[in-house]
Every structure is written in C-alpha cells, then in structure tokens.
Structure 1
Amino acid sequence: MNLILGLTLALIVFLMANGLYRVINRPRAKPIDKTARPNSALLVIDMQHDFTRASGKLAHDPERRLVAFHQINELAAEAHQLGIPVIEISHAFTDPLEKLVVKIIAGGAGIEGSLGLKRDDALTYEANYHVWKHEGDSFTAPMFTRYLDDHEIGHLYITGQDATACINATAKAALKRHYDVTLIDDAILARNGGKWQAMKDKLLASGARLATGLGLSAGPV
C-alpha cells in the first residue's frame, strides 16, 4: 500500500514539474500589429476519430456532433469561396508520461501513431494547411504561428473540439496576442456544456465574438 501511494505521489510531482517546465520554456506571447494583418483564417481543431466519438467514455452528444460536422464542412466551403484559408490542426500526444496517462485514462486515444489520429471521415472539406500540435494551445506549434505571420492573418474563426480544452486554450492564446477571435458556436463540440459556457463567457468578456452558422467575412469585423 505504501509503495502504491509513494508511486502515485511521485507521479503527481513529476507531472507538476513537467508542466511547470513546459510553461517556463514556452515562447512568450508577442502581441501582433493587427493593422498589418488584414486577413482571416478558419481553424478546425482536433476533429480526429480518437476525439470525435459518438459513443463510449469520451463520446460527444450524437446530435451536436452531426451539427458540428455539417457546419464545419459548410464553413470551409464558404471560406474557400471568400479566399479565406482553412487551417486544419491535429493533436497527438508525444510526451512519454502523457502517453502513459492517456493509455490509462483514455485507452490510448490520441497517442502518436494511433490510426484514430486521422480526420473524422464525416469531414469532407479541403484544408489549405495542416499542422500538428502536442499541447492544447495551437500557438505552441511553431509552424502554425509561422503560417499566420506569413499570410498576414489577424482574425481567427475557431471551430472544432474539445471546447473546454484545446478550443479554450487556443482562443485565450489568440486573444493574448491581440488577434480578433470569432467562436463559431454550433461548429464547436463540448463534452461538458456547463463548463464550456463559463469559459465562453470569460472569452467573450476578453474580446472574443460569438457567431452561429455561416457568415464569414474576408477580414476582421
């Protein structure tokens, strides 16, 4: 019993230390000059088989799931017509300790090499750019920030899942950098609707906008 307790405590301490190390070594958020970034992008975050399940422990509400799939496909088609790039962002757990925890808690869903890391087949849109990330915040992926810089993007339309994790982390990071942020509500999936509502209220108070359905624009609004 003491051995199990000791190992558990050691694991908790290691997780805390690992998280602190990541925070300390994360690149600082640099505010952008929006006057030099007139363009927009549509983000589709983590809509992969391992994360978009309709049944099981990590399931999303089946009806909400279908609505989100439809809206994302339609939004992407509209974005292409307007010349707005569609950026597909995919998550994969690569840290050894994270992979161990995910195996225990989620049966290995999302671990690097999983066949379930492919985009859900219900999403048929074409992406202009694809990037992998290994943390909730999409801005921790250097290729993502580089694409936004290179294409003078200052306005992000955000869709995908999960609302209380990677969606919230990416939106907060974008607002911190002074991006215009529009959350496409019916194209965002949340396993915990109450928690997402509280987070959404904070994002809106910080300057994010909320939209439903279609209606993209070619630049910040």
Structure 2
Amino acid sequence: MTAFLSVAGAIIVVAALFVFALRRELQKTSAPTTGERIDFSMRPNLALLIIDMQKDFTSVDGKYGWDEAYLKARLAAIGIMAAKAKEAEIPVIAIRHVYRSPLIRLMIRLFGEGRGIPGSKGLGLSPELPVSPDIEVEKPLSDSFSSPGLEGYLAAKGIGTLLLTGLDGCHCVQATANGALNRGYRVEIVEDAVLSHDEADWRKHVAALEGRGAVLI
C-alpha cells in the first residue's frame, strides 16, 4: 500500500507539473508580442493580411468544424478583399500557423485532431480560398508578428496600415491586431472577413481593439 501511495503521489506531482508547464506555454503562445515602434509617417502603404486560413482550420467536419454557410460567406468575403487588393496593387500576405512547442503539439495530437502541427497535410491555404498571396509567412505563435519575416517585409514595402482578415477572431486575429498596435501600425479589421467560433467573445475583443484605436470596416 505504501508503495502504491508513493507511485500515485509521484504521478500526481508529474501531472501537476505538466499542467503548469502547458498553461505557461499556452499563455506564451497566445500573448501579443511587442517590438520597436514604427515611424508611421514613413509608412504610407497598406497590406492585406489573411490569417490562418489553412485547410486544417477551415473544415466543416470534426469537433472544430465550421457551419458551412458561415464558412463559405467568410471565404467569399476574403476572396473579394484579396481581389480588390490585387487591383489596387496592395500586397496580400497569407499568414500560416504551425505549432512548434512540443507540449502544445502533444496536446493537439491527443485532443486537437492533429491540426496545425508539423507534418499535417492541411498546413497550406484552404483550396476553397481564391487567393494568390504575394508572400506567405509562417508563424509559431498567435500573433503574426512572432514571425520576423513579416516585419521585414512590411518595412521593405513601407507598410503602416494593416487590413486584417482570417481566423480565429478571438485568438490569432486579435493577437495580431494587438501586436500591430503595440508597434504603432494602423489596424483595420474587415468585419465580414473574420471568423470566430465565439461571436460574443469576439465582440468583446473588437470593443477592446477599437478602444486602442483599431477600426472596424
């Protein structure tokens, strides 16, 4: 009995440490980043960001599937924005999320249907999205600015205003918006081109972002 209790106690300790480490990693992954503020007066150009519209995240099947009509409407809205951006010679930037943290990858394998982890066949953009991006950027965290390549591209193109579309509003879209605001970018959120599994929570994020200066269009 004593040996059993010792083993059980060890298992509980290990489980508690695992949960603590996972929570810390999730907080790190979801938190907006900070960085050097841009000189907005020297950034007159715009760019359209399409966030995480990958095959893995745009399914109508499975535990995390979208309502089909809702998804199609958002895909169409993003496609229209991309077409308009191309006509106006505004860069279209596709952001793709790939989880890199070993702990998070383990949890996604177990409970998240393996979506968004290295080796998944659904890391590319949704085939239902009629978009030819000017550049694709891979990010490991919710905030698109976690990819150094994004800031370099924006600087090279003199971009100071970001038009945000994609998913999920409550997670990667709002994190990217906050990361951009932290750096002095102007942020415009294309309302009918953002997807969220929790619309009520998304409205709260929108209100907070508008309070920071973001614009809903």
TM-score normalised over the length of structure 2:
0.90
Structure 1 equivalent of residue 18 of structure 2: 11
Contact 1:59 1:191 in 2 (8 A): no
Q: Report the more deviating stretch, 54-63 or 35-44.
A: 54-63
Choose which of 207, 210, 213 in structure 2 pairs with 1:207. Answer: 213
SS at match of 1:116: coil
Structure 1 equivalent of residue 90 of structure 2: 84
Structure 2 equivalent of residue 217 of structure 1: none
Structure 1 gaps of 5+ residues are 212-221
User: Quick one: distance in 2 between partners of 1:18 and 1:68?
Assistant: 30
Deviations 1:3-29 (A, max 9, x none): 443232011222355467889xx9742
Contact 2:26 2:104 in 1 (8 A): no
Structure 2 equivalent of residue 185 of structure 1: 191
| Matched ranges for 1:110-121 at <5 A | 110-121=116-127
SS at match of 2:65: coil
Query: Cα 1:75–1:17, aligned 2, differ >3 Å: closer, same or farther?
Result: closer
Which residue type is aligned with residue 171 of structure 1? A
SS at match of 2:191: strand
User: Quick one: distance in 2 between partners of 1:30 and 1:159?
Assistant: 24
* Alignment length (residue pairs): 210
Offset of residue 31 of structure 1: 1.2
Query: Cα 1:139–1:19, aligned 2, differ >3 Å: closer, same or farther?
Result: same
| Matched ranges for 1:49-128 at <5 A | 49-128=55-134
Structure 2 gaps of 5+ residues are 1-7
Which residue type is aligned with residue 156 of structure 1? L
User: Quick one: distance in 1 between partners of 2:27 and 2:95?
Assistant: 24
User: Quick one: distance in 2 between partners of 1:119 and 1:5?
Assistant: 41
User: Quick one: distance in 1 between partners of 2:76 and 2:27?
Assistant: 39
SS at match of 1:35: helix
Offset of residue 179 of structure 1: 0.7
User: Quick one: distance in 2 between partners of 1:107 and 1:22?
Assistant: 19
Contact 2:29 2:141 in 1 (8 A): no
- Structure having the higher Rg: 2
TM-score normalised over the length of structure 1:
0.89
Report percent identity of matched pairs: 34
Q: Report the more deviating stretch, 96-105 or 159-168.
A: 96-105
Query: Cα 1:21–1:94, aligned 2, differ >3 Å: closer, same or farther?
Result: closer
Contact 1:37 1:154 in 2 (8 A): yes
